[in-house]
Structure formats: C-alpha cells, structure tokens
Amino acid sequence: MVSFELLIMYLSINRGELLGLVGESGSGKSSLGLSIVRLIPPPGRIVDGEITFRGMNLLKLPEKELRNIRGKHIGMIFQDPLTSLDPLRKIGDQLVETIIVHTRVNEEEAKEIALRALERVGIAPDRFDDYPHQLSGGMRQRVMIAMATMLNPDLLIADEPTTALDVIVQSRIMDLLSDLKKSMKMAILLITHDLALVIERSDRVAVMYAGELCEVGPSEVISQEPLHPYTQLLLESIPDIEKPRTKLVYIPGNPPDMRNPPTGCRFWPRCPKVMDVCKRISPRSLELDDRFVRCHLYNGGLECGK
C-alpha cells in the first residue's frame, strides 16, 4: 500500500475571492482539490486536519450529507472532462438530472436553468441533445463548467478548467469565473500549472511543491516580491515577450517521488539557495504580513521543524 502525506499549512478562501493554486505537474494540486470534497481515490486518505465549510468540518460529515453539498454548495470541475460525463447519456439530460437531484424545481424549470447555464459558456441550445462524444474536448470542458456553476455554489473547485481551450475561449471562461465571483460572491479555487494566468486573474496565489504549500499570498505581492526560491524560479520561467530576447529560464531537476520525498525541505535538491539546515529539517510555515512562506531563509536559519 502506498501512503502519502499532503502537508498543507492553513489555507482559506473567502467569499467573492479567487485563489489560484499553482505548481508543477505531480505536485498534488488535484489531490488537494479532491481532498476538500473527500474524493481522494484509495489508497490515498486524509489522515488529519480540518476542512471547514459553512461552519462544518467536512471531514466529520456523514457521507450522505456531504453528497448533498457536492454539486450544490460546492461545484467541481474535474481535470478530465471526458471521464466526468456519462458517455451514454445526452448532455442536457445529465444537466437536468443534477438540477432535479439538488433542487425542488420540475423538469421544465430544470431545462431552462440548464439551457441558461449552457448559454453562459457559449454552447448553443441545439447541442442540448448531443452525447458527449459529439462535442469537441473544449466543448465538453465548457459543459462541465456549466454543470459545476449552474446551481451557483458557494465554492467552486476548478481543476485546470481552461487547459484544453484556445486562448479566446480561455479568456471568455475566465471572464465568466470573474463574473460569478463578483455577482454571486462565489469563492473559487482555480487549480492550474499556469502561473501567468493565476497572477493575472486571481486575488491570491498558493504555490505548491511536492505535496506541500510553500507560499501563499496576494497575487500582486507575490508577483512583485516572491519570497520562496521555488516561487522566484517559477516566476522567472514565465517568458516575457516585451523583454529583450534572453535564454528561457527553467528549473533544473525534477520534482521528487512523493512516496519517498527528500528529508528536510522537499525542494532542497533543486534549490539554488540551499543551506545545510534545509537538508535535515523541514521548514515551518511563517506568517509575514499578509502572506505565509515555508522556507528556512525566513527563519534566520533556525533549526525549527514544522
């Protein structure tokens, strides 16, 4: 059995706020999103902690109650839209069924809500009776976005919602999310590897490396003055077309195997600022003004664990 640990320092999302969660592929972003709604596939499991939503600890909630929260109060856009839709059923029927399960409306009203939700993401009404395979990948992605947002949840977990889309549709979807955030006061967790998108569109950024959050703070502050060496390197590796031609910066090495991560700071084998203490002791998370950072550079090299 594989066991793993997801070390998350305190992370919160407020109503009407968009929090971008970024990190390299395999850093555990989707696992964090799935943990919130307790959908971590076995043998993964949540060993400790608290997930508070509307004053309830979701980790203690009976499965039946949680099922009512998922889809209604917490909308989810999963990373792979094809596996999230039933290939044997028309998309319209899938939307209508979800609405009826969670609300008291009749079929006709549910159809109206579903059509409005499809329209919001740019899917024409004549696609209502299509099967998922009749739609392009980007259209399926948009159907998933319509499904996740049509009941105006308090929290939306959007895992790579625009990755399969061209830049124009991507921008339209991001405008939709911004609009939902403002008009419905929706809290949005945007999971993506696209740091440039997050800096541009989110209120706060959480940077993840090898199953741990290393820095969390307002997007503007983090983009102007990143503290964690990993965040610094991620930002440096974003190409800037306005700057003179320079060699593209990349982060040498690969993320560790999370079943057997390095001792101490998990980033030390790739960190240009590594110190002796980093190899032995895991840095604890420090609160500095309006952000959190987890790096020995800000502990004054003190040997304090998490």
Ligand X SMILES: Nc1ncnc2c1ncn2[C@@H]1O[C@H](COP(=O)(O)OP(=O)(O)OP(=O)(O)O)[C@@H](O)[C@H]1O
In this structure, are residues 259 and 267 in contact, taking their beta carbons and an 8 Å threshold? no
Residue 26 touches which of ligand X, Mg ion, ligand SF4, none (CB < 5 to 8 A by kind)?
ligand X
Q: Which of residues 30-89 bind Mg ion (CB under 5 A)?
A: 30, 79
Using CA atoms, how far residue 242 sits from 238, 239, 246, in Å, is 12, 9, 11
Chain residues binding ligand SF4 by CB under 6 A are 228-229, 265, 267-268, 271, 273-275, 278, 283, 295-297
> Binding residues for Mg ion, how many (CB under 5 A)?
2
Are the C-beta atoms of 16 and 204 separated by less than 8 Å?
no
Q: Which does 258 bind (CB under 5 to 8 A by kind): ligand SF4, Mg ion, ligand X, none?
A: ligand X
23 binds, options ligand SF4, Mg ion, ligand X, none, Cβ within 5 to 8 A by partner type: ligand X
Contact string (CB under 6 A) for ligand X, positions 209-238, x = contact: --x---------------------------
Chosen residue from 4, 128, 131, 298 binding ligand X by CB under 6 A: 4
Pairing of β 187-191 and β 18-22: parallel
Indicate whether 81 belongs to the interface with ligand X (CB under 6 A).
no
The entry of Mg ion, ligand X, ligand SF4, none near residue 4 (CB within 5 to 8 angstroms by kind) is: ligand X
Contact stretch for ligand X (CB under 6 A) within 21-29, 139-147, 181-189, 292-300: 21-29
Q: What are the Cα distances from residue 75, in Å, to 152, 159, 236, 266?
A: 8, 11, 33, 32
x/- track of binding to ligand X for residues 180-209 (CB under 6 A): -------------x----------------
**In sequence order, what are the residues at sequence separation of 6 or more whose Cβ sits closer than 8 angstroms to the Cβ of residue 182?**
16
Per the rule left: phi > 0, alpha: psi between -120 and 50, beta: everything else, 74 is: beta
Rounded CA gap, 238 and 216, in Å? 19
Sole binder of ligand X in the list 11, 39, 44, 194 (CB under 6 A)? 44
Nearest to 46 by CA among 38, 56, 54: 38
For tokens 């809500």, the residue is 113
CB of 162 to ligand X, least distance (A): 14
Please choose which of Mg ion, ligand SF4, ligand X, none residue 283 contacts, taking the beta carbon within 5 to 8 angstroms, the exact cut-off set by kind.
ligand SF4
Position among 259, 260, 272, 300 found at the interface with ligand X (CB under 6 A): 259
Which of 210, 216, 194, 205 is closest to 268 using CA atoms? 210
Please give the Cα distance from 150 to 2 (Å, whole number): 37
Looking only at the bridges linking them, the beta strands covering 187-191 and 204-209 are unpaired
Nearer to ligand SF4, 8 or 197 (CB): 8
Nearer to ligand X, 118 or 213 (CB): 213
Query: How far is residue 174's CA from residue 199's CA, in Å, rounded to a whole number?
Result: 13
Q: Which is nearer to Mg ion, 30 or 282 (CB)?
A: 30
Interaction site with Mg ion (CB under 5 A)? 30, 79
Interaction site with ligand X (CB under 6 A)? 4-6, 23, 25-31, 44, 79, 193, 211, 258-259
